[in-house]
Structure 1
Amino acid sequence: MDYPELVPGTLRRRYKRFLADVELADGTLVVAHCPNTGSMRAVNVPGCRVWLSPSTNPARKLAWTWELIELPQAAGGVATASVHTGRTNAIVEEALRAGRIEPLAGYAALKREVKVEGARRSDARLDFRLDDPQRGTAFVEVKQVTLKERDGHGYFPDAVSERGTRHLETLAGLAAAGQRAVLLFCVAHEGIHDVAPAAHLDPRYAETLRRVADAGVEVLAYGCRVGRRDERPVTIELAGRLPVSLHREIHDPGLVD
């Protein structure tokens, strides 16, 4: 996925959930839209360099959107993370259509935002449905991962996620009915190299994920790679597959911020 020409700045604060104060290189303080409804635990770090996309739409209240943040790593250097959750499905769709997600390659048709037939809840929608005359149907739910705890590992979710747990139950229902059901973690943080359920933040989600995985729901994780030109981010795409550990937990409270 290509970015528009991004502009660097320094994060000063995120507030009221959807707003972020960012200082541009010339000292101008702008208010940017924060396209992330989550807690943004570990990626809301004032003082870090961020990248904003500009808008030319005069009807927009805010002219800037917060896209990326560069985070210092314990081993040195920085890792870039996407905070724009609205980009996640586009990144995954591009990879699906290009056949870069090997376990999901070879399907003939793709549909986004699909209602699950027979589901009791009106909000039982999943991100993708893949169809093929020979392979049948696969339902895919995508979750963006940006939480890297102080133990060096990646976790999901970054706060209690009742909706995420409902998605797991929907996938489990499909698997029980003989359909292929897949949870795909899109790891949008270049410093994360594996993923586990965040039992220390949402024990119910972690327990449910382990249960549905045992019941036939496939769990995949893929990292993201940010492409640069002259140090400026210009692309983001799905990269290699990452390991998922369903039973890793944080036991040392000192490793949690």
Structure 2
Amino acid sequence: MDLPTPLVRGRLVERYKRFLADVLLDDGSIVTAHTANPGRMTGLVEPGRRVVLSESDDPRRKLRFTWELLRLGPHWVGVNPMHSNALVEEAITRGVVPTLADHDELRREVPCEGHDASGRIDFQLRRGTRRTWVEVKTATLVEPRVEQGAPGKVAQFPDAPSARGRRHLEILRDRARRGDRAVLCFVVQRSDVDEVTPADAIDPLYAQTLREAVHDGVEVLALGARVGPRRMWLDRTIAVGLSSQPSRKPARSRSR
């Protein structure tokens, strides 16, 4: 998918109040950008990082700019979780995800019977009477492997306690128990991760609920993105680790 345009570049000054970031643009001006990621963004919000913002001329918006990418070493990293659903839909439509290819109808934001208005799942895939429910989550917390000397990096979800995430797991679990196919799909908007795990040390209840949901038939899929300065796309499947070994708890990010 192409990122929204126009795009401008700068350096991060500070991310604060969860949804705001001050950025020094390359033209010397300082702007405040909307941050769509409500999590802690641990390891990503150090001042001085190169960032990419999209600019909107919609007069209804309070902020013209949205934080889209940051530069982390040699890699661009996507920081806008609102793009993950579009990435997954694009990948499904193009047949990039073989395990989600068997359908002839795709519906978005589908309410689940037996749940209140908040009980919507991102996608429903249908073929005849067969239904597959797909909930998308963006994993942004990334750390080196805990094992001494082990190569690669691991993405963890969530990066902050997530009651909403647990609620979606319970809905998927209910769908699986009723005979539908239910899939939790983690998206990692970066290219240097080779495994996704639940963040036991941050939200042990979510991790426990995830393992129980898998026991009851929920499938877990993780997809990694190739990210460039103007576009990103899902290009690979990432391993999912569900062992009960606790992950390390990262330090809290700064806020004001």
TM-score (norm 1): 0.89
Partner of 1:247: 243
Matches within 5 A, 1:1-257: 1-3=1-3, 4-72=5-73, 78-119=74-115, 121-133=116-128, 136-151=130-145, 152-227=153-228, 233-247=229-243, 249-250=245-246, 256-257=250-251
Question: What is the alpha-carbon distance in structure 2 between the residues aligned to residue 20 and residue 252 of structure 1?
Answer: 27
Superposed displacement of residue 60, structure 1: 2.6
CA distance in 2: counterparts of 1:12 and 1:248, whole angstroms: 38
SS in 1 for 2:227: strand
What is the number of equivalent residue pairs in this alignment?
243
Q: CA deviation at 1:123?
A: 1.4
User: How far off its partner does 1:132 sit?
Assistant: 0.8
1:150, distance to aligned residue in structure 2 (A): 4.3
* Residues 60-91 of structure 1: per-residue CA shift (max 9 Å, x gap): 3222111011123xxxxx32221111111111
What amino acid does structure 1 have at the position aligned with 2:13?
A: R
3-state DSSP of counterpart to 1:42 = coil
Could you report, residue by residue, the CA deviation over 1:1-53 in whole angstroms, capped at 9, with x for unpaired residues? 11224211100101122211001113211111111222222222221111001
SS of match in other structure, 2:230: strand
Structure 2 distance, partners of 1:201, 1:126, is 24
Corresponding residue SS for 2:240: coil
Q: Report the Cα distance in structure 2 between the residues aligned to 1:89 and 1:34, rounded to whole angstroms.
A: 17
Helix, strand or coil at the partner of 2:52: strand
- 5+ residue gaps, structure 2, are 146-152, 252-256
**RMSD value, Cα:** 1.6
Question: For each residue in 1:106-161, what CA deviation from the matched residue of structure 2 results, as whole angstroms up to 9, or x when unmatched?
Answer: 31000000101123x43111100000127x11000000111102433110000100
Query: 1:58 Cα deviation (Å)?
Result: 3.3
* Distance in structure 1 (CA, Å) of the matches to 2:58 and 2:135: 31
Could you tell me how far 1:250 is from its partner in structure 2? 4.3
Give the superposition deviation at 1:57. 2.2
Asked if the contact 2:201–2:248 (Cα under 8 Å) also holds between the matched residues in 1, the reply is no
Q: Measure the CA separation in 2 of the matches of 1:39 and 1:150.
A: 18
SS at 2:211's partner residue? helix
| Amino acid in the other structure paired with 1:239 | D
Identity of aligned residues (%): 46
Q: Is the CA contact (8 Å cut-off) linking 1:188 and 1:224 kept in structure 2? A: yes
Taking a change above 3 Å as real, the CA distance of residues 157 and 83 of structure 1, as seen in their structure-2 partners, is: same
Query: Which whole-Å CA distance do the structure 2 matches of 1:251 and 1:17 have between them?
Result: 24
Residues 145 and 189, structure 1, Cα contact 8 Å, conserved in 2: no
Task: Give the partner amino acid of 1:65.
Answer: T
- Report if the CA contact (8 A) 2:199-2:247 is conserved: no
Cα offset, 1:206, TM superposition:
0.5
Relative to structure 1, the CA distance from residue 56 to residue 222 in structure 2 (aligned partners, 3 Å threshold; closer, same or farther) is same
